[in-house]
Amino acid sequence: MAVTRFAPSPTGYLHIGGLRTALYSYLWARKTKGQFRLRIEDTDTQRNNEDAMKAILEAFEWVGMDFDGEVEYQSKRLDIYKEYIQKLLDEGNAYYCYMTKEELDALREKQMANKQTPRYDGTWRPEEGKTLPLIPEGVEPVVRIKAPKEGMITFIDGVKSIMNFNCSEVDDFVIARSNGMPTYNFVVTIDDALMGITDVIRGDDHLTNTAKQIIIYEALGFNIPKFYHVPMINNPQGKKLSKRDGALDVMEYKRQGFLPETLLNFLVRLGWSHGDQEIFSMEEMLELFDPSNINKSASSYNEEKLLWLNSHYIKNVSNERLANELEYFDCHIKGHDKKEIILDLCKERAQTLIELKEAINKIILRPTSYEAKGTKKFIKEDTIKFLEVYLQTLEENKESLHLACDYEVITKPFIEKFELKFPQLFQPIRISLTGGTQAPSVYDIMAVLGFEEVKSRILTAIERNFGKEA
């Protein structure tokens, strides 16, 4: 039974890399009948953003990922952190350091000049037989952990296998700043331990933090969780993902017309696979996901696959669901008497809900202009004449015109009689009805609109001469 967590900082909106980490953590907790916790790491008060905090919760609600218990806010746990800092001080596992920023900068410059790795030199580290400097006046100390000087810090990473860090690479890092505020690695360790987190799934940019956190775990006698460090998502060129490539706020994907299950399906495959399967329902993800099978190498963002997945889900969710989703885009089709037909027609070509809305509007809204390229190509000298004759044919049979097949029965003999090619008739009709040449079947559009609306739109197009003189 795994207890996992997602712990974003509210300093920016939730991006897809963060959502992928959250999804992996969520799936593992739910699969093992454990718990998935949400913690907001908001101790950096200068960078916190109230809107970003709300956006994180909004994104979770949109994709349907629930969490257990209340949201934990680090800013409400400061007394707990101070208690454990004091415990480390009392037990000799941490100490006050009075080295000023200027002294630390000078030390680093000297080390770099000597081609050494910049690191704290242990000036204020208490050791047997060592005399510490006199405490300077007016200097507020930081608190440093007493890190081991020798040996290896070793742990088994669920993705990367055995990881070794030489203790000589980890200095006595700061766990509390001079203003008393605890640092990131310290609060993360305390929170994960006290929340009973058993499995930490996070980006591999945290890999070096893990060694520091293990030092804190061991100093306080806490159980060390299992770590899974997930490789980054790169752009198609193998570089860090940018906003231009798709590193957007999660809610921006909603605004661009993606369904939440599309995004989750897309993200679960960015770093994990099950054979050649591409489409995964949430039930299948829960059944099949195991963090031990996360890929060791970075994944590449593929916009074409994202659009393909979205097209798949648009075609396969219910029309009732689509009608509800379209409300967000001010496309109100729920009460339309031909809702089912319209959606069945339009969703076949739509890759996003915005494209679906545009396709629907082309049918249900009267065109205000006519595509110049299509008009030039398909509206000839005799077009208006045979359109007028075609309207007379429809008028004579209007009582029997209800379904698409009814219009087909009338139209095919008309085309044969006047020896027309299909585009000669259909494209002028399509332009009349929708304003453009790209639309579903003319028969289907006419069936949706009904004879009177078809007649009105064609007559309007003829009256305007298809905008050719505008």
Q: Is 76 known to sit in a ligand binding site? A: no
Residue 237 in contact with residue 291, Cβ under 8 Å? no
Residues 6 or more apart in contact with residue 28 via CB below 8 angstroms: 2, 4, 34, 199, 201, 289, 290, 291
214-246 b/e (C-beta count within 10 Å ≥ 16 → b): bbbbebeebebbbbbbbbebbbeeeeebeeebb
Q: DSSP assignment, residue 148?
A: -
The backbone region for 336, taken as left when phi is positive above 0, alpha when psi lies in -120 to 50, beta otherwise, is beta
Residue 289 in contact with residue 24, Cβ under 8 Å? yes
- What are the helix and strand counts (H, E) for the chain? 19, 12
C-alpha triplet 58, 352, 271: angle, nearest 5° = 65
- Around Cβ 107, how many Cβ atoms within 10 Å? 16
Residue with tokens 């913690």: 39
**CA nearest to 289, candidates 60, 32, 38, 4:** 32
Residue with tokens 């906003």: 243
- Around Cβ 457, how many Cβ atoms within 10 Å? 21
Give dist(CA 211, CA 151) in Å, integer. Answer: 12
For 146, the 3-state DSSP assignment is coil
Question: Which amino acid would we find at residue 129?
Answer: G
Give dist(CA 282, CA 63) in Å, integer. Answer: 11
**Residue list, annotated binding site for ATP:** 243
Feature table: binding site:
243
